[in-house]
Structure 1
Amino acid sequence: MSNTAFEDEIRLGDRPLVVSDIDEVVLEFLSPFRAFLESRDHVLVPRSFRLTGNIVHRTTEQAASADAVKDMLDTFYATQDRWQTAALGAVETLRDLSTEADIIFLTAMPPRHAAARRALLDRLDLPYPLLASEDPKGPIVERLHGGRELPVVFIDDIARNLQSVQEHAPSCLLINLMANAEFRALAPAPDTCVHIAADWADAAIAIRAHFRR
């Protein structure tokens, strides 16, 4: 189940569209999640770009099962307002971009946590429309953009999400952005058509260049 039915409630202006992921892009995720895990006697070991298998008990060093990891993530999302903060430069950059483009957040998160995320985003001065879905992102971006002859941008930290959007919205500027440098080094490399942004300032330069084409 997803809350992408709320797509029908989104009204775009006659201007470019920026669709952005949230975790590790707009909000810090890995650093707060590590702090959350430590409060539960677990640690996240940077051995590969995945959670399952890399979350271990602090004392026994036993890896948490896939079900246990899922439960930890669910609890984290339910209490995200206690842990997560805005990524460096995200609030200011999106505020500036919002003067010339519509901005929509598309987060890969169980929709039951969307209300908690909405409250946190509002508190952090990130008031843009939010869609929470566990569905592939490409078809959602395609429906949002609707084939308009206007620039569209998609920002995400996960290669498969960028690839999904590339397949369904080929005119889209794809930007790979990730707040945590340690785990970014472990991430699969995105396709060559993807702009790898060092930070939000770098992303903004690429976005504005795309708008002017």
Structure 2
Amino acid sequence: MTDGIHEKVIPQLADIKIDPERPMIITDADEVLFNFMKGMEIFLEANGMYFDWQSFALRGNIKLKHDNSAVEDEKIPHLLDQFFHDYAANLPAVEGAAETLEDLSQHAQVIVLSNVPPKYAEKRLAGLKRAGMDFPLIANIGAKGRVVSYLTRSLNHPSFFIDDIPHNHASVEEHADYVHRLHYIADERLAQLLGPAENSTARLNNWTELSDHILSHIETKEN
């Protein structure tokens, strides 16, 4: 069942306790639980850069203040690594995320599936706890569909996947199409740059809408 899952992710799965008799919510962290872009803008400002908001992608939009040139693509991974080192434990929480997840945890088991680099998983866990979202974390590498399939394979109740990245919804549809795929982008500026993910079940705009969707399907037991 772990075929295609990154070797650094597999050991983390063994630590996740799954109750097949409870619904499951699998949620991304950046731009779902945490305001990634607000933190990124602070980081860029401190390092002589800014985000140009021309598209949803980081590449091409991170620019140098002194001449407005785009940072070279090959430098983006290093910038992201430094950003997570500095901010993974300190990003501001999305409005309503902690309170809503706490309420939803009375009805479903909650797992955070984040593509934070595994070496910063402890920082991310610290950030989750600080923000009142002390849920199990999987620091994933790559597309998320196979991990979602693994986590939900034995469930007898509805399951839900929340993410801002369209290709993650496509991956979950490919490997676990029975999962409700909820497309949510917390930053309104980013949300305006990207329409609903083609492979999502629904595009929702805030945690109130996410909660309403999830609870309505849990109550009707609709898979």
TM-score range, shorter chain: over 0.9
The residue number in structure 1 matching 2:166 is 159
Deviation of 1:188 after TM superposition, in Å, equals: 4.7
In structure 1, runs of 5+ residues without a counterpart are none
What CA distance in whole angstroms lies between the structure 1 residues aligned with 2:39 and 2:181? 26
Give the alignment partner of residue 55 of structure 1, picking from 62, 67, 70: 62
The residue number in structure 1 matching 2:136 is 129
Question: Please, which moves more after superposition, 84-93 or 62-71?
Answer: 62-71
C-alpha contact 2:52 2:62 (8 A) present in aligned 1: yes
Deviations 1:100-150 (A, max 9, x none): 110000001211111111111111111100001112200000001114221
- TM norm structure 2: 0.91
1:39 aligns with 2:46: yes
SS at match of 1:24: coil
User: For the aligned residues, what is the CA RMSD?
Assistant: 1.4
The residue number in structure 1 matching 2:186 is 179
C-alpha contact 2:32 2:164 (8 A) present in aligned 1: yes
Which amino acid counterpart does residue 67 of structure 1 have in structure 2?
A: E
Give the alignment partner of residue 19 of structure 1, picking from 8, 20, 26: 26
Question: Please, which moves more after superposition, 21-30 or 144-153?
Answer: 144-153
Structure 1 residues 39, 82: closer, same or farther in 2, change over 3 A?
farther
Structure 1 residues 5, 121: closer, same or farther in 2, change over 3 A?
same
Give the alignment partner of residue 114 of structure 2, picking from 92, 107, 119: 107
Structure 1 residues 110, 192: closer, same or farther in 2, change over 3 A?
closer
- TM norm structure 1: 0.95
The residue number in structure 2 matching 1:143 is 150
In structure 2, runs of 5+ residues without a counterpart are 1-6
C-alpha contact 1:151 1:210 (8 A) present in aligned 2: yes
SS at match of 1:189: coil
Deviation of 1:16 after TM superposition, in Å, equals: 0.3
